Structure 1
Amino acid sequence: MRIPRPRGTRDFYPEEMERRRAVERTMRRIAESWGYGEVATPTFEHLELFTLRSGEAIKEELYAFTDKSGRELALRPELTAPVVRMYVESMQRAPKPLRLYYFGNCFRYERPQRGRFREFWQFGAELIGGREVYADAEAMALAYALLSSVGVHTTINVSHLDVVGGLLRGLSEEQRRSVLRLLDKHEMEQLATYLVEMGMAYVLEPLEALMELRGDAFSRIEQASEISASEGLEVLERTLELLEAYEVPFDVDFGIVRGLDYYTGIVFEAYAEGLGAESQVCGGGSYALSELFGGEPVSSCGFGIGFDRVMEVCEPPLERASRVVVVNVGDTYRYAIGVAQQLRKGTGLEVELDVMKRSIREQLSRANALGARYAVIVGEREMNEQSLTLRDLVTGEQQVLPLRDAIDLLRASHE
């Protein structure tokens, strides 16, 4: 009986994993060059970690379940809440700021489509304990550096939640949440209908005016001050000035409100061409989660990068090690194993040894098919002399060398 993979998941074959690991390595290197250290959290958490702020309705989007002891658990749908939970549990007394990054798989029960899966990977960072403006600017600059490092060309689109929030004062928490969710999905027609039905049509005009502002980023901030009396505009302007110093391209979009309820101030998103409707590759901002999870209030900001969407538009430089094939001739397989082991330890090369009892001709054909530069031929003479025959598969030249000399030559060719 053939059993297919679950809907919304994928298998990754060696060639694709090679590309993904290359991008992952590059992103890790960039994050660490900014002083961020890697953390990891469990694949599943207590369900309450995700419903406490976003409400019970979010359960429809989660892989939630009850374990054998009756505990309500969920596969993580994102990584910010788990990292903050970890911080509250064991890192509150650590010197601030804390610069943390992570890479892991997440799960959401939603309709699969291009760039949107039920199991997906997220690369992200959290800056805990930094001061507003400075920390926000660093988080956005790091997000831009990560995307740029793997060839994703983008602009950081920025807003401040208080600009829109100032227009929603007087609404109930549930009404405010509904308006923000519709804005986040850019469903303006549904938003207009909702506000009219709720008797709040007076909110629609200034909201639409904010969405329709034109001009450069600083011009939009100036125009917005005539629509919304918000202190967030000053914070936004100061943050953009720091982004200029970081040489990060940016724009202002007051329609950015983010879909999760724990964001509090600066919010931002980044998009990439070539992804159609699912073009967002990064989202983040400043947030308040620590006190919600039982910790002390602390200023925090961070972001998550949709790793799978990045993989659709980037072309990572591959850094494969050179490959060598050990060709076994006659009854010398034990010696060939020893040669392969020493080559792996001494050269940093990818070394393959035949496990199909092929002929020498078939083994050499396999080496050529793999794109190997060298074939190391091991027969009875080589075993008796503790040597090997090194064949250059590009030039066809070959030479017999003592094992140690061959290792030195192969190491030098790899370097």
Structure 2
Amino acid sequence: MELTRPRGTRDFLFEEMKQRKQVESTLKRIFEIYAYQEIKTPIFENLSLFTTKSGEEIVDQLYNFKDKGERDLALRPELTAPVARLYMNEMQKNAKPIKMYYYGSCFRYERPQKGRFRQFWQFGCEMIGGKFPEADAEVITMAHHALNELGLEGFEIHIGHLGLLRGLLKEAEVDESTQDHIMGLIDKGNVEELEIYLNNTQIDNATKNILLMVIEMKGNSNILDAVKEEIQGHELALKALHEFSDLLETLDDFGMDNYIVNLGIARGLDYYSGMVFEIYVPKLGAQKQICGGGTYNLVETFGGEKIESTGFAFGFDRLMNALLHENTDLGISTSSEVFVAPISNSTRGKSFEIAQNLRNAGISTEVDLARKKLKKILTYADNLGVKKVILIGEKDLLEGKLTVKDMKSRDQELISIEDVVNYIKNSLT
């Protein structure tokens, strides 16, 4: 019987896991600097959590099943809905804003292709109850800060505001279902298909023309003046434009000027209500988007209070691809920094004692467990990438000393047993 992994999934070996853990720990550190706290939600939820948000048609994209109690469940396809459910269950009385971050795997029953898997990971955050421009600005700034900390180059942050588009359509008395469809077409970026659809609706030509003009607007904050001229008389769109202008000014206060105003961002999900942003790495081509987020009101969709939330998620797998594509130095250390090598069977017991002393001092240490000969030990230590090998010989032990070999320079030095831990600590810094 041939055993293979399920289609659309992956195995991660040692080196990849080191890289992923390093990126994960860096993101956690930055998010916590901004006072976000980590949460975990179940890998599976009630199916209704996702159909309430996205409609019954989403079932075809889910791993859903009945449990032994005939309850309809699904593996989570994303993490925003579970966070909203968590808030409603546990945190409605908490002081606002509530800052949360998460990291976990998600599942979608889609055709696997380059950059798209059936099991994938998201690292993201939600700020619930942050209803002013400074909340949106801080979230965008944090995403920018995290990518800078990872050393990623060549990324672009594109920011838009759905209130402009929704405002125009609402004033033209376009129903919400049609609005959602239009947003989906804008999100796909297919202007020709959008024009065909608009021409088959009852939307007046003036609104169509303004809409098509607005979604093509891209540049710095100065383009808002041109947009303002075009939407005069459209009060809802003008109000959204004013909010967007406040956000961009607040971003400047945060020292965040590395962004592109892109009014063609729609995010394609009907619960987004205001600011939206996406982060691209153009060199990745079709898989260039590594992050998406914005302001939304999902809690109300689930029957809760109307409360503004802002969040985003890194597609963790896309982010890893971007970092590796750029050959970014992630600062990954070897699995072990020191290897303790007994020269003979009589010094084997002492080697375990020395190894434990180093480990208790917080030094990553490997010790020979396979009774290898010295030549093979040194070859193995080289393959592990350790920096120091401690050779424990009978003669040295009689003198109360150990031989420390630097694996880069190949120099050796006799160190007293009492001093070896401090010596290793100092030599590794």
Give the TM-score normalised by the residue count of structure 2.
Answer: 0.89
2:214 alignment counterpart: 210
- 1:194 partnered with 2:197: yes
TM-superposed deviation, 1:56? 0.8
Secondary structure at the counterpart of residue 104 of structure 2: strand
Task: Provide the aligned length of Structure 1 versus Structure 2.
Answer: 414
- 1:239 partnered with 2:278: no
Residue 349 (structure 2) aligned to one of 334, 353, 357: 334
- 1:352 partnered with 2:366: yes
Which aligned pairs between 1:143-154 and structure 2 lie closer than 5 A? 143-152=143-152, 153-154=154-155
- 1:77 partnered with 2:77: yes
CA distance in 2, matches of 1:109, 1:254: 31
Secondary structure at the counterpart of residue 314 of structure 2: strand
- 1:369 partnered with 2:370: no
CA distance in 2, matches of 1:70, 1:194: 42
Partner amino acid, structure 1, of 2:280: Y
Seen in structure 2, the aligned counterparts of structure 1 residues 86 and 385 have a Cα distance that, compared at 3 Å, is farther
Per mean C-alpha deviation after superposition, the further-off stretch among 25-34 and 214-223 is: 214-223
2:280 alignment counterpart: 271
What residue ranges of structure 2 are gaps of 5+ in the alignment?
A: none
TM-superposed deviation, 1:235? 0.7
Kept after mapping to 2: 8 A contact 1:327/1:378: yes
Kept after mapping to 2: 8 A contact 1:388/1:403: yes
- 1:323 partnered with 2:337: yes
CA distance in 2, matches of 1:183, 1:257: 6
TM-superposed deviation, 1:269? 1.1
Secondary structure at the counterpart of residue 157 of structure 1: strand
Kept after mapping to 1: 8 A contact 2:157/2:279: yes
Kept after mapping to 1: 8 A contact 2:216/2:264: no
Partner amino acid, structure 1, of 2:364: E
Q: Deviations over 1:266-292 (max 9, x none)?
A: 111111121111211111111112233
TM-superposed deviation, 1:133? 1.4
Kept after mapping to 1: 8 A contact 2:216/2:263: no
Secondary structure at the counterpart of residue 275 of structure 1: helix
Per mean C-alpha deviation after superposition, the further-off stretch among 352-361 and 265-274 is: 352-361
TM-superposed deviation, 1:186? 1.2
Secondary structure at the counterpart of residue 411 of structure 1: helix
TM-superposed deviation, 1:399? 4.2
CA distance in 1, matches of 2:417, 2:2: 48
Kept after mapping to 2: 8 A contact 1:97/1:128: yes
Kept after mapping to 2: 8 A contact 1:63/1:75: yes
Q: Deviations over 1:137-177 (max 9, x none)?
A: 11111111112221234332222212111333333333222
Kept after mapping to 2: 8 A contact 1:75/1:107: yes
TM-superposed deviation, 1:391? 2.5
CA distance in 2, matches of 1:14, 1:117: 20
- 1:23 partnered with 2:23: yes
1:164 alignment counterpart: 165
Kept after mapping to 1: 8 A contact 2:221/2:261: yes
What residue ranges of structure 1 are gaps of 5+ in the alignment?
A: none
Which aligned pairs between 1:7-86 and structure 2 lie closer than 5 A? 7-86=7-86
Per mean C-alpha deviation after superposition, the further-off stretch among 317-326 and 86-95 is: 317-326
CA distance in 2, matches of 1:83, 1:387: 57
Seen in structure 2, the aligned counterparts of structure 1 residues 313 and 411 have a Cα distance that, compared at 3 Å, is same
Partner amino acid, structure 1, of 2:227: Q
Partner amino acid, structure 1, of 2:252: E
Q: Deviations over 1:286-324 (max 9, x none)?
A: 111223334332221111111211212221431416621
Partner amino acid, structure 2, of 1:368: D
2:177 alignment counterpart: 174
Give the TM-score normalised by the residue count of structure 1.
Answer: 0.92
Q: Deviations over 1:365-389 (max 9, x none)?
A: 2123333222122344566676533
CA distance in 1, matches of 2:168, 2:97: 33
1:412 alignment counterpart: 426
Q: Superposition RMSD on alpha carbons, in Å?
A: 2.3
Seen in structure 2, the aligned counterparts of structure 1 residues 188 and 397 have a Cα distance that, compared at 3 Å, is closer
Seen in structure 2, the aligned counterparts of structure 1 residues 198 and 222 have a Cα distance that, compared at 3 Å, is closer
1:219 alignment counterpart: 223
CA distance in 2, matches of 1:63, 1:284: 24
